[in-house]
A = this chain, B = another copy of it.
């Protein structure tokens, strides 16, 4: 068997963490032949709950799990890790303004970026799930100057999957009939689900639906889906977010079959400001992510992409002192 891959998960006792860990441990992320070590980071008040989660991992007798570490120190959690899944973040509390939120998370992701820089494997793959994911990722990346910016990513795979699912329902097709769909920009209500390059059974997706449905129903439904889940469940998406995180890392490691969506460090592709963590149509081969080139964008798409870019610039500027 291969050497174990070392995986850090932050916010490990939270709802997404709980849904995520057992899928990782069962082999769903890296395959049934890949032993793993899991390093779990939590804040001190959550360590008892985390101990319970670790007991449950033990109780599964997963053959792939070689070691489980619990800690409240980022330096220990990231020591030598090959993959870091940054799930924990500060949720927006009552009366909290957007800048308060960015600031509270800034402290977390500054510390985690530095710890990754100093302790993780040099080719560590970092996925930020905790919101605001793109800007949290930016903060971590900027605080890890010794790591390649391409090591950092923010999750838009949940939006991607939601967009595929909603389109497949609309056209009464199967999810695997849909190809080429992508999410652009920020993991927020400004993100842009792009059907221009998407196909349904090999035919343009926009031939199968009306432009008005696309603009007035579909895009808002994807953008507001998180709120709809909270309204139905009484709590925010956990298992579907965990599933997206598993798929994000699996594709990053094993490669993509179809184009996917990932928030990655922009090198200026499609005119986006360099250095933003921006969701693009991405393919992965040999562990390297590439932005799909020559995608056709009309004026409508361009305006949507500019709007989500503008939001990311604003978020970046609000945390400029942390970068």
- Enumerate chain A interface residues (CB-CB to B < 8 A): 18-19, 21-23, 26, 28, 48-49, 51-53, 55-63, 158, 161-162, 164-166, 168-169, 174-176, 225, 228-229, 231-234, 237-240, 242-244
Contact = CB atoms under 8 A, between A and B. Distances in A.
A229 B58 contact: no
A228 B55 contact: yes
Q: Which 8 pairs show the lowest CB-CB distances between chains A and B?
A: A52-B233, A52-B232, A56-B240, A59-B240, A61-B161, A61-B175, A22-B239, A61-B164
What is the total number of copies of this protein in its complex?
2
B240 A51 contact: no
A60 B242 CA distance: 10
A63 B176 contact: yes
B233 A53 contact: yes
Instruction: Please report whether the interface of chain A is mostly helix, strand, loop or mixed according to DSSP.
Output: helix
Nearest to A62: B175
Contacts of A19: 18-19, 22, 239
A237 B58 CA distance: 12
A164 to B, nearest CB: 4
A162 B165 CA distance: 38
A311 to B, nearest CB: 23
B229 A52 contact: yes
B51 A232 contact: yes
B229 A158 contact: no
